[in-house]
Amino acid sequence: MCGIVGFIGSRANQKIVLQKMMDAIAHRGPDGQGAYFDDQAALGHLRLSIIDIKGGSQPMMNEDENYIIVFNGEIYNFQELREELLRDGHIFRSHCDTEVLLHGYEQWGKDMLARLRGMFAFAIWNKREKTLFCARDHFGIKPLYYYQNSETGTLMFSSEIKSFLEHPEFVKELNPEQLQLYLSYQYSPGENTFFQGVKKLLPAHWLEYKDGKVMTQRYWSPSFSPDTSRSLEDWEEEISAAMAESVQAHKIADVEVGSFLSSGVDSSYIAALAEVDKTFTVGFSNKQYDETEYAKNFSRSIGIKNYSYRVTPEEYWASLGKIQYAMDEPLADAASVALYFVNREAAKQVKVCLSGEGADEFFGGYNTYKEPFMTSWYDRIPLLFRRAIGTLANYLPPVRGINFLVRHGRPLEERYIGNTNLMGERCKNQLLLHYDNTINPVDLSTIYMQQVRGQDDVARMQFCDLNLWMVGDILLKADKMSMANSLELRVPFLDRKVFDLARRIPTSCKVSGQQTKIAMRGAAEKLIPVQTAEKKKLGFPVPVRAWLRDKKYAAIVRDAFTSSSARQFFNTAKLVKMLEQHVSGRRDNWRQIWCVFMFLVWYDEYFVKR
């Protein structure tokens, strides 16, 4: 895993500019740097050496030096593709996956993307034709951002937005529309970002830059095709085989590989399948939020070493600015801080870690997926009557049950935006100084809901989460928190072969009103204790709710809520009231408070300090 950066557009001082851009993301590749320059292009690469440590330096050229590539990620089937390319006459000078991409693009062009199994973001410069081709992996595991100066036409790309700040032609300007979406999603959704003009290359998309114009296109889309002819036991056996093969593929490395471990089924299953020597866990002194004892006991039971670390409240809060800076965009997922510390501790021992991201989206792991089974009695009421009830409920005090009536007063495609929906439009209208009623968070999710019309509600929610929540929250923090610590994070669940299986499993073998990930848990039970396989989902539990009722930490948030930065965007009196309601115990507003607070911490890092 590495960092890539570059720009297309002639500059007198291009070497100095590129070096500054590379320095901004040096944490992504501490093992070496490389650069390529010609009269139009500047490409940079920062290397974290994992495979073919001596021979995999980048940027890399083909034989006639026309194609130049910079690549971030791992291609797990590169050896098979290499054999095919050798039979077609290609000559290789290394044993790394980067050179396979280079020759694969020569041989197959854009069609190469359909052959790849792995995580990747790469850019290939065609020197003769003056064109740039970029692509991002099928699920969005690796990030890629781009920006084009509207006056000069210069195009920039990078693994992280912060490197753009070092280019003289980058105009740093806040995108206020993204704030309104963020307050609902808790992350920055879609292709736009908090920086005006900066876009994400979306998962399973390629980009081509030619004659000053940028074109993007989707090359693959996940789809569900449930096979109801198979038994639950059949699916469990298939999952066991697919996951065992995927984990072995994800262990390919010339350095030691470890694994993260919490008390949940996903990481426990991965750790047991991988049979690594070392696992890593973080916890907190509050036992309700501490998973370190379980991790030690589980690791001991399967004969591997566990390294655990307890994060103190003081270091958690002290790290917030550094972490929001590392994220590039604000993220209100409190687990991201815990993830930062487990990556930090793992990086002291290994260069690569396996993790359980993707299991919930593939196999139906979120509690929200139970809802269609648990609320079918209410959803049978005609929509006309439910709409009327929901409209009335929206004006009642937010007591228990009101949110349910409001949400179910609308059909799924009008209410479901993903695994989180922190603030409704009424709340945002009260908090924001410049609320725009034309910005509707449902507009984004509807794009994906429409693509799976005719599927059951769980499949539609899964599809939405695969395209929004997973890439915008789960994978964002996985990449940024691991790379901030120069650690490669690999996710064996998020594998094309595993998805080809998961897409065929019917909802009845994924979720019921009582349980999630039914078939996957059954597969895991063949390898790990039943009580672990059946354990309720926790994620990375973090005691933020309790901390916000502590005078010391409530004071930190209150200062942010009354700051000059807050006064630019929010009704600060409303913010303080929301905080006081939580501190007093009258409301449980911690997630809404944290969402606003993280935006202000991020804004301070990017628009006040820099």
Please report, as a single letter, which amino acid is at residue 291. Answer: E
* 550 phi and psi angles, rounded to 5 deg: -90, 130
Residue 339 Cα distances to 342, 490, 539, 589, angstroms: 5, 14, 10, 23
- Coil, strand or helix: which one is 609? coil
Poorest-confidence range of 64-73, 415-424, 483-492?
A: 415-424
pLDDT in tens, 245-285: 999 999 998 899 999 998 889 999 999 999 999 999 999 98
Q: How confident is the model at residue 585 (pLDDT cuts 50, 70, 90)?
A: very high
pLDDT higher at 482 or 52: 482
DSSP letter at 357? T
C-alpha Rg value of the chain to the nearest Å: 24
Contacts of 443 (CB under 8 A, 6+ apart): none
pLDDT in tens, 349-358: 999 999 999 9
Query: What's residue 389's pLDDT?
Result: 86
Q: Which residue has the tokens 């815990």?
A: 338
Average pLDDT, the chain: 94
**In 289-422, which residue ranges form alpha helices assigned H by DSSP?**
292-301, 313-318, 320-327, 335-347, 359-363, 371-374, 376-379, 383-393, 402-407, 412-415
Query: Could you give the strand order of the β-sheet that contains 60-61, starting from the edge strand earlier in sequence?
Result: 60-61, 67-75, 118-126, 131-136, 205-210, 213-218
DSSP letter at 507? G
Q: Is the pLDDT of residue 67 over 80?
A: yes
Q: Is the pLDDT of residue 322 over 70?
A: yes
Q: Is 2 a catalytic residue?
A: yes
pLDDT in tens, 79-114: 999 999 999 999 898 888 999 999 999 999 999 999
CA separation for the pair 270, 246 (Å, rounded) = 10
Query: Could you give the strand order of the β-sheet that contains 2-8, starting from the edge strand earlier in sequence?
Result: 32-37, 41-47, 2-8, 155-158, 145-148, 199-200
Structure tokens at 331: 């993220």
Residue 250 Cα distances to 123, 204, 474, angstroms: 23, 20, 19
CA separation for the pair 197, 171 (Å, rounded) = 9
Q: How confident is the model at residue 419 (pLDDT cuts 50, 70, 90)?
A: confident
Contacts by residues 435-440 (CB-CB < 8 Å, ≥ 24 positions apart): 435/180, 436/177, 436/180, 439/177, 439/180, 439/181
Query: What's residue 397's pLDDT?
Result: 78
Q: Is the pLDDT of residue 538 over 80?
A: no
Q: Considering the chain, what percentage of its residues have pLDDT values greater than 70?
A: 98
pLDDT in tens, 110-162: 999 999 999 999 999 999 999 999 999 999 999 999 999 999 999 999 999 99
CA separation for the pair 134, 35 (Å, rounded) = 17
CA separation for the pair 427, 284 (Å, rounded) = 32
Q: How confident is the model at residue 537 (pLDDT cuts 50, 70, 90)?
A: low
Residue 125 half-sphere exposure toward CB, CA atoms < 13 A:
29
Partners of 44 in the β-ladder: 5, 35
Q: How confident is the model at residue 396 (pLDDT cuts 50, 70, 90)?
A: confident
Q: Is the pLDDT of residue 402 over 90?
A: no
Residue range 285-310: average pLDDT?
89
Q: Is the pLDDT of residue 53 over 70?
A: no
Nearest in space to 145 (alpha carbons), one of 193, 108, 102: 193
pLDDT in tens, 503-514: 999 999 999 999
Number of H helices, E strands in the chain: 29, 17
Q: Is the pLDDT of residue 12 over 80?
A: no
Residue 53 exposed, middle or buried by CB count within 10 Å (0-12, 13-18, 19+): middle
Nearest in space to 307 (alpha carbons), one of 283, 328, 281: 281
Strands 155-158 and 67-75: unpaired
Query: What's residue 1's pLDDT?
Result: 63
Q: How confident is the model at residue 319 (pLDDT cuts 50, 70, 90)?
A: very high
Query: What's residue 530's pLDDT?
Result: 84
Say if CB 490 and CB 3 are below 8 A apart.
no
* 478 phi and psi angles, rounded to 5 deg: -60, -45
Structure tokens at 222: 């996940």
Query: What's residue 540's pLDDT?
Result: 61
pLDDT in tens, 547-581: 999 999 999 999 999 999 999 999 999 999 999 99
Partners of 488 in the β-ladder: 352
Nearest in space to 274 (alpha carbons), one of 296, 243, 301: 243
Poorest-confidence range of 46-50, 271-275, 446-450, 454-458?
A: 46-50
Four-CA torsion 365, 371, 372, 374, nearest 10 degrees: 120
Q: Is the pLDDT of residue 235 over 70?
A: yes
Q: How confident is the model at residue 10 (pLDDT cuts 50, 70, 90)?
A: confident
Residue 593 exposed, middle or buried by CB count within 10 Å (0-12, 13-18, 19+): buried
Please report, as a single letter, which amino acid is at residue 125. Answer: W
Query: What's residue 287's pLDDT?
Result: 78
pLDDT in tens, 513-525: 999 999 999 999 9
CA separation for the pair 95, 295 (Å, rounded) = 37
Residue 90 neighbours by CB distance under 10 Å: 18
Please report, as a single letter, which amino acid is at residue 284. Answer: F
Q: Domains of the chain by range and CATH?
A: 2-218 (3.60.20.10), 232-317+329-365+465-533 (3.40.50.620), 543-610 (no CATH)
DSSP strand E in 256-304: where? 257-260, 278-284
Nearest in space to 224 (alpha carbons), one of 462, 518, 504: 504
Residue 348 exposed, middle or buried by CB count within 10 Å (0-12, 13-18, 19+): exposed
Instruction: Given the residues 2, 464, 509, 595, select the one marked as catalytic.
Output: 2
Report whether the peptide linkage leading into residue 59 is cis, meaning its omega lies within 30 degrees of zero: yes
DSSP letter at 407? H
Nearest in space to 260 (alpha carbons), one of 186, 188, 359: 359
pLDDT in tens, 177-204: 999 999 999 999 999 999 999 999 999 9
CA separation for the pair 520, 243 (Å, rounded) = 10
CA separation for the pair 331, 328 (Å, rounded) = 9
